[in-house]
Structure 1
Amino acid sequence: MDFDDQLRRYFGTDDPTTVTPAALEAGIDRMKVDFGMEKDKGRKFALWALMYMLGAAPDLDVAFSDEADRNTARDFMDMMAKTQGGG
């Protein structure tokens, strides 16, 4: 699942600048449902990462039962903070 695929699946476009606020909200709602049902670790992480970038990710202790997965998510959060000048 790559970024463009996620954008098309949840927001109907691969251009994030064209997503309306209503489409953003609806897409995030669909992502949350899919996240809760996803069993594949890679797909689940990809969904969480996009939700994180959109400010809608669940807390790590809720999102990931495995400590290694939570640590990977923390690494991602740190990486994102550094790219945004926060670290």
Structure 2
Amino acid sequence: MNFDDLLQRYFATIDLSDHTPRAVAAGLERIHVDFGLEKEGAKRFALWCVLYMFDDAPALDVAFENETERDAARNFMDLMAMSDEGD
């Protein structure tokens, strides 16, 4: 899943700078629905990552069934934290 494609699919744009909070909330709600319905692990992980970037991701123990998936999510969280330190 390409990040720009996900933004386009859920928010109808790749530039969220002019979106209202209500429009962003609606896009996040659509992601949550698809996340709950998705069975493929890689797609679920991609959706969770987008939710995480918007500070709206479910807790790891709720989102992922096994420890390997939770470890991957923790690694993503660490990478995001490191990229924030560089700002």
Which deviations, in whole Å up to 9, do the C-alpha atoms of 1:18-47 show, x marking residues without a partner?
322111000011100000000111110000
Q: Which amino acid is the alignment partner of residue 71 of structure 2?
A: N
Which deviations, in whole Å up to 9, do the C-alpha atoms of 1:28-78 show, x marking residues without a partner?
111000000001111100000000000000000000001100000000000
In structure 2, what is the Cα distance between the partners aligned to 1:19 and 1:5? 17
In structure 1, what is the Cα distance between the partners aligned to 2:81 and 2:28? 22
RMSD: 1.1
TM-score (norm 1): 0.94
Q: Which residue of 1 aligns with 2:82?
A: 82
Q: Which residue of 2 aligns with 1:67?
A: 67
Between 15-24 and 75-84, report the one with greater CA deviation: 15-24
In structure 1, what is the Cα distance between the partners aligned to 2:35 and 2:72? 17
Identity of aligned residues (%): 52
The number of residues matched between the two structures is 86
1:7 deviates by: 0.5
Where in structure 1 do 4 or more consecutive aligned residues deviate above 3 Å? none
Q: Which residue of 1 aligns with 2:52?
A: 52
In structure 2, what is the Cα distance between the partners aligned to 1:69 and 1:39? 13
Between 27-36 and 77-86, report the one with greater CA deviation: 77-86
Q: Which residue of 1 aligns with 2:25?
A: 25
